[in-house]
Every structure is written in structure tokens, then in C-alpha cells.
Amino acid sequence: MKNILPRLLLCALLLTGCVELPGLTPLPPPTGDDDDDASLSLPETATFALAMNGEVDDSGAPSIVLTKSGGMFQFLYWAEGGGTPLCRQRFLFQAEARFGPLTTSSCGGCSGSLSISEVSLAPPDSDLDISSDGCDKDFIAGSDLSFLLTGEGEDENESADFGHLALIKVEQLLDQDWNLSQDGVHIADLVGSYKAAGLTATHLAMVRPSGWLGQRAGLDDIASPWGVQEWLPMFVVYRDADRPTDADWLPGEVFMTSLWQVGLAALPPPPSAPGGNTTVE
């Protein structure tokens, strides 16, 4: 999938405005022109997206549906102002989506759940439209967020937030008259924006509040918690509008993109003190 964050989708995600908040903030508008000096910039924000293709198996226990999928997960790192990503990390994965009474009871009445496994770094692909395919470890340094998928972080407090997601049907959220963000953006606004782009939003994928995104990045400060377990909305799940209406189980080609961008903590070098020493404030 070449244009995993096309301009139409970026515009569709501008629902919460551009309020500066710690950790995560809504996506800013595209600048219209790529920054010629982007290659010299350090990443300031990151977004996430995935594409997967699933096959439904409803031959198991009554009312239990299992959809097995494979796909690609992308971490995109951006300079200030957006434009073209500075680089991206691409991971191949396998996933299982489960739907039915046993699944929904385990996540507090959700529509289903999505578990991602067998994650591996994708090989370079010369056909991709971004020149810097993989992100050099020295370049992104402490801004590397791939642990959210792989669980392989340097800090023991980092967690694989994307390993297990709760799926909530858009119709269920509309029936609940639910606000996506704490500043009052309604789920109907998101659905309408995707419809205008020729896409159908089917679910929101949510992360646990106890993970890195909720506890460290501040997602719980801007996103509205859902349900008794207070899951936090992280992705919108969507498909092409002309697809059949069997989208409840995530069959065929399905896409997800993050509702928020993560502000990366790029600390400047400590200032020099008289006599050549350094001080840290």
C-alpha cells in the first residue's frame, strides 16, 4: 500500500483541531509542499497505519467468528509541518480477529478483539514511494516507537500496546452518542469525513489505558475512554465504500490508521556553563 496516509485521510483526521497537548495531539493539516530540508530534520511526530487481508472462519463454536489476517504495519516519522515522512519502519505481521460472546465479555462488551503476532521487519522494497524505507537507529534514536508493536523496548515500562486491541463497531458508538475526544468531537464527524472520502469506517480499534500510550504519552488526556475498562480509541478501521457489507468480521482488504500523532521527545543538548562545564535543567 503506497499511500497509507494520503491527503484525503489526513484531512479526515483533522477533527480535533490543532491544540498543543503533551504526548499526543491531533494530526496537523498537510503543508501542501514537501520540505526540501526534510532529510536534515529530526522526527518530531509519529503516526501509525496498517493494511491487512483477512479470511473469515465461522465453522467453530456457535456465535464465534475467527478472522485470520496477514499484513503490513507502518510507523511513520514526520518533521514539523508534515509533508513527506522522513522515514518509516515497516513490519509484516499475522493477526487474529475474534468475534462472539466469549470475546466481547473479555473486553467489557466490545464488538470483538484483534491480536497481532508473528511480527518481523519487512525487507526493503524499491517500489515504495518514500526514499528512506527503514529508519536508521541512530537517526530516530530515542524516538523509536516500534516497541508498541514488537514489545522489544529498552525500557521495562514500555509495552506492546498494539499487540491486543479492542474493536468497537462504529454503529455501536453512534447509538451511544459517543464523543471521540474529550473536547467534544463526535464519532459522527469521523464517520462523515471518511464517507466524503469514499471510504467506510467500520470500527474503532482501542488500546488499554494502562499501556505506554495511556500512561506515558498522555492519550488519556485527549481521547474519551470507552466502557467500564476505559479503552482508549487509537485507530479508525475502514475499507473502500464499494466493498460488500460483510465488514463486521474484517474480511478481505482492511485498513487502519491512527487517530492521533505522537509528539516525540527530542531533547536539545544541555547548555554550556562558564568554564566549559554543562548544566542540565
Contact 186, 173 (CB under 8 A): no
Average pLDDT over the chain, rounded to whole?
A: 75
Separation of alpha carbons 223 and 215, rounded Å: 13
Q: What is d(CA 188, CA 192) in angstroms, rounded to the nearest whole number?
A: 6
Q: What is the pLDDT of residue 106?
A: 78
What does 65-116 look like in DSSP terms, one character per residue?
EEEEEEEEEEEEEE-TT-SS-SEEEEEEEEEEEEESHHHHHHTTS-SEEEEE
Pull the grid cell for residue 186. Answer: 463526535
Q: Tell me the pLDDT tens digit for each residue of 146-161.
A: 999 998 866 665 679 9
Model pLDDT, residue 164: 95
For the cut 80, the answer to whether the pLDDT of residue 134 exceeds it is no
Distance CA 214, CA 202 (A): 23
Q: Which of residues 6 and 224 earns the better pLDDT score? A: 224
**Which of 236-240, 268-272, 277-281 shows the lowest mean pLDDT across its residues?**
277-281
- The pLDDT, as a whole number, for residue 12 is 32
Model pLDDT, residue 223: 94
- Nearest-5° angle of CA 135, CA 25, CA 183? 160
Model pLDDT for residues 231-266, shown as the tens digit of each residue = 999 999 998 877 665 668 898 899 999 999 888 864
* Res 3 pLDDT > 50: no
Place of cell 460472546: 101
**Secondary structure of residue 239 in the 3-state scheme:** strand
Q: Give the pLDDT score at 29.
A: 35
pLDDT of res. 61: 64
The residue-averaged pLDDT of 112-118 equals 94
> Would you state the pLDDT for residue 244?
61
Find residue 56's DSSP bridge partners.
67
Q: What is the dihedral of CA 232, 235, 239, 241, to 10 degrees?
A: 70
Q: How far apart are the first and last CA of the chain?
A: 44
Checking if the pLDDT of 268 tops 80, the result is no
| For the chain, percent of residues with pLDDT exceeding 70 | 70
Residue 131 predicted with pLDDT over 70: no
Q: How far apart are CA 167 and CA 173, in angstroms?
A: 11
**Predicted local distance difference test score (pLDDT) of residue 123:** 77
Distance between CA 12 and CA 37 in Å, rounded? 27
**CB-facing half-sphere around the CA of 23: CA atoms within 13 A:** 12
pLDDT beyond 60 at 21: no
Q: Residue 87 has which C-alpha cell?
A: 522515514
Query: Could you tell me the residue ranges of all domains in the chain?
Result: 7-266
Between the CA atoms of 118, 145, 112 and 244, what dihedral angle is there, to the nearest 10 degrees?
-80
HSE, side-chain direction, 13 A CA sphere, residue 18: 9
pLDDT tens-digit map of 43-94: 888 999 999 999 988 776 667 888 999 999 999 988 877 677 888 888 999 9
Stretch (H or E) spanning 128:
none
